[in-house]
Chains A and B, each alone.
Chain A
């Protein structure tokens, strides 16, 4: 699943249109989704960003193959071009700094960003926005540091009055190709294969139910050992191996359970 947080509807519109996301009404925030993407409109500001991100991830908790991206516009000093897309590697908020990991190759400029509580008209030394910190703070409870991305497009040189909805939408639209490339690369890096198949998980579950919690933990460890060491299916019908990890025919006594566990471990690890 790809989770997207955008502050403004105008920033989200190009993505909603491109991926034909449908509006759903399951959260007190504007939410769009399809089978692969959930996009939430947080509203402006750090608190809104934090609340919307928490609501989205609490509503639909992510897993280790998922990704979250905060997409939006930002102000920046004049050495950044209007319309330039940035990937953020350091978020500053007050005295604190946060560091999303960027572990893939890309062609974009990377930058720090300063998250501020109010729109800024003074020219700062780094790009600035009003959401990155809120998104990171909430998302870092759910994701690893390399699963959270900040894709920002420079909208102005600290002249907030010059930024219109139309401009925000246009700037995101023009950078959709870069965004897709970044997401594709990030997904490649985070992708982790499943260790056990559905059948294997079912077998492990059935056997675990015959054991105590501590015994089950040892059995599951042995299953991991077998999969990593042998690289073969855990359960093959008609093989000798099957006999070693088959389910017991009847309910086991305490002593039988211990013997059964030792047999399982021996079979899987020797």
Chain B
């Protein structure tokens, strides 16, 4: 009884949970065909699985499963206080995929969801319909708030669908934020000024420590380079910066690496920001007891935890000064507590 064998599932999605209502959807059938070895479990509502009490986010993270479901309204949410809305009058995010294939220890998803599994809502057309009334004005939609859409693109084709929808609607602007190295999934599409590909970068040492299952820095840089050369608007986000005793070595050197790979003039924007999170999410992250990030002695102000003014300013000052060696201030965006 003491012997320990067999680790967790090595294959992605050992189990597919599928709502009865989407069993016959073409997208459901396509995804089922890609996971012919997965066990299929029919469910009534995605929340019966995704919102179950007493799930273990950390254990599930090692063996993630996929839930296919139909989303009902709301299909759009106003952009979060923690994110940059880039001065768009209409700024929404869309919860079309919940949960991420990657497992970053600092991610608010681990403090927000009961489950490490992902939910993909296959009724994409309903999201497009909900957006229509807003498209008389320029409207920014973040499609990868609660997920990394490009990471899961080979399964969902979701990013492709949104970019193609934007091509038909000139007022629709997209931000597609990713840590993937999966530019190839959208390489065949024509680049457009309406879509910004926002890559999150971290020093390799931070990736190794905290960003589990994500591609290496080199792979991400390679993907960025391809995207830039294909004419896409690329925003690089060094955000969140994880502060520790090696900050001064790791992060300025990351900026150097970035601009050794990408011609500075071709980068659309650089976003810089230090780690911050709602104190509610952090409290739940602590319960997972798996990361130093959850236990740093942050400052708490109006329900937001951050490194505090002194460290935050130091981070932004060091990073901005380094970035200014390559690009003008007008192309640098920073996030800090007001």
Contacts and interface: CB of A to CB of B under 8 A. Distances in A.
Interface string A227-254: 0110000000000000000000000000
A222 B295 contact: yes
A106 B10 CA distance: 11
Most chain B CB atoms below 10 A, which of A112, A145, A225: A145
B5 A188 contact: yes
B113 to A, nearest CB: 14
A105 B1 contact: no
Contacts, number: 109
B294 to A, nearest CB: 8
Nearest to B2: A36
Dominant SS among interface residues on chain B = loop
Contacts of B295: 221-222, 224-225, 228
Contact of B5 (A110, A145, A184): A184
B212 interface: no
Given A97-B43, A145-B55, A189 B1 contact: no
Most chain A CB atoms below 10 A, which of B6, B48, B245: B6
28 contacts: A36-B1, A37-B1, A97-B44, A99-B17, A99-B52, A102-B14, A104-B9, A105-B6, A105-B9, A105-B10, A140-B53, A143-B54, A144-B55, A145-B56, A181-B6, A183-B1, A184-B1, A185-B5, A189-B63, A221-B297, A224-B289, A228-B291, A228-B292, A229-B244, A229-B292, A265-B297, A269-B297, A270-B245
Interface of A: 2, 19, 36-37, 89-90, 97, 99, 101-106, 110, 112, 140, 143-146, 180-181, 183-185, 187-191, 195, 218, 221-222, 224-225, 228-229, 265, 269-270
Given A99-B49, A222-B295, 16 more contacts: A36-B2, A97-B44, A99-B17, A103-B9, A103-B14, A103-B59, A106-B6, A110-B39, A144-B59, A145-B54, A184-B6, A185-B6, A189-B63, A221-B295, A228-B290, A265-B297
